[in-house]
Amino acid sequence: MTERYSRQQLFQPIGNKGQQQIRSKHVLVVGAGALGSASAEALVRAGIGKLTLVDRDYVEWSNLQRQQLYTEQDAQNKLPKAVAAKNRLRQINTEVKIEALVMDAQPANLESIVQTADVIIDATDNFDTRFILNDLSHKYEVPWIYGSCVGSYGTTYTVIPNVTPCLHCILKKVPVGGATCETAGIISPAVQIVAAYQITEALKILVEDVEALRHTFLTFDVWNNQHAEFKTGKMKSDKCSSCGSTRTYPYLAYENQLKTEVLCGRETVQIRPSQRHLYNFDELEKRLKKQGKVDRNPYLLSCQLPEQRFVIFQDGRVFIHGTNDIQFARSLYYRLLG
């Protein structure tokens, strides 16, 4: 091991052996926003062997207050977060193999990655994706670490397949509604605290110090000086369809049809074609210039309409900013892309 990890190796629970284990492991971080930025940087600085980043979004100016890997230039260029994160992380540690994937976190996209991962870090902004991660975790027996934050509040929980209750056991179903960063805001310290807990748990798993894992569901409000945690052991259900004795993994079911959703807490609709579609950006730019101002980079093309902004990714996904009306968004999608 190089001198760069010497202080980490001096920490007795890690040591030289633990550092070698960290160096041989693969971590999947789903989401490259605030939590994903903090977690990815910590893992890369710790000397993880391989890091895979999955994110569907691009850098915007409102991200810069708390998403520590990104710069004003990234926002100006509308770089996909996964790509911008990889660019910065490679400057931090060239020894780490970094894979950046600009795509939706769906079962078909994640399944092969999860099978090679040693730990999954949840850095998403919605429970639909978290329940997908929960099912994939149990299907392939890969630990995952849940985390979320909004305002000055944060929560985290570590899921070990066949040992702890899963997220489905605890929450029963996907929560609907609730505060988001768009409605309640968020302060950076809440992000850093959740990420610190998540990465600490990840390091314990990577060095196989399972006795040190925290078996509680932890919440805090850093502004109002509140901290609470509760034991979850008795919440494990043998009837759970995600982790019980007759598992069906309900959140991995996929319907082969157009997927449309309002992004969490944002006046934005995402439309995802049922099959991956690669656009010819040159032809698309010529067509959309008749509708409004067009900007592009190698990963996405953006068209500013009078009241909406239309963003097309290389994998065929479309963001329509400026509306929460799914029917209107679909109509606009078909009118512009046919």
* Per-residue pLDDT reduced to its tens digit, 32-53: 999 999 999 999 999 999 999 9
Examine the fold and report which residue of 254, 279, 305 is the final residue of a domain before the chain moves on. 254
Cβ neighbors of 301 (< 8 A, separation 6 or more) are: 279, 281, 284, 285, 288, 294, 295, 311, 312
Asked if residue 308 and residue 215 are part of one domain, the reply reads: no
- The rounded mean pLDDT for the chain is 91
Asked if residue 295 and residue 242 are part of one domain, the reply reads: no
Asked if residue 150 and residue 54 are part of one domain, the reply reads: yes
Q: Where is mean pLDDT largest: 41-50, 238-247, 326-335? A: 41-50
Asked if residue 300 and residue 244 are part of one domain, the reply reads: no
pLDDT value of position 274: 64
Asked if residue 172 and residue 36 are part of one domain, the reply reads: yes
Asked if residue 311 and residue 203 are part of one domain, the reply reads: no
- For residue 327, what pLDDT band results from cuts at 50, 70 and 90? confident
Examine the fold and report which residue of 254, 270, 302 is the final residue of a domain before the chain moves on. 254
Burial of 29 (0-12, 13-18, 19+ CB in 10 A): buried
The domain that holds 333 is classified in CATH as: 3.30.310.10
The domain that holds 136 is classified in CATH as: 3.40.50.720
Asked if residue 224 and residue 159 are part of one domain, the reply reads: yes
Asked if residue 175 and residue 297 are part of one domain, the reply reads: no
Stated pTM of the model: 0.88
> Tell me: the pLDDT tens digits for 13-25?
999 999 999 999 9
In the chain, what are the helix, strand and coil shares in percent, each to the nearest 5?
40, 25, 40
Asked if residue 220 and residue 170 are part of one domain, the reply reads: yes
Q: Is the pLDDT of residue 213 over 60?
A: yes
Q: Is the pLDDT of residue 332 over 80?
A: yes
Domains in the chain, number: 2
pLDDT value of position 256: 38
Asked if residue 64 and residue 13 are part of one domain, the reply reads: yes
Q: Which amino acid, residue 16?
A: N
Asked if residue 262 and residue 243 are part of one domain, the reply reads: no
Q: Residue 222 sits in which domain range?
A: 5-254
Asked if residue 43 and residue 100 are part of one domain, the reply reads: yes
Strands (E), the chain: 26-30, 50-55, 97-102, 119-122, 144-150, 153-159, 216-221, 226-231, 259-262, 268-272, 293-296, 300-304, 309-313, 318-321
Examine the fold and report which residue of 211, 237, 254 is the final residue of a domain before the chain moves on. 254
> Tell me: the pLDDT tens digits for 252-277?
986 434 578 877 667 899 988 766 66
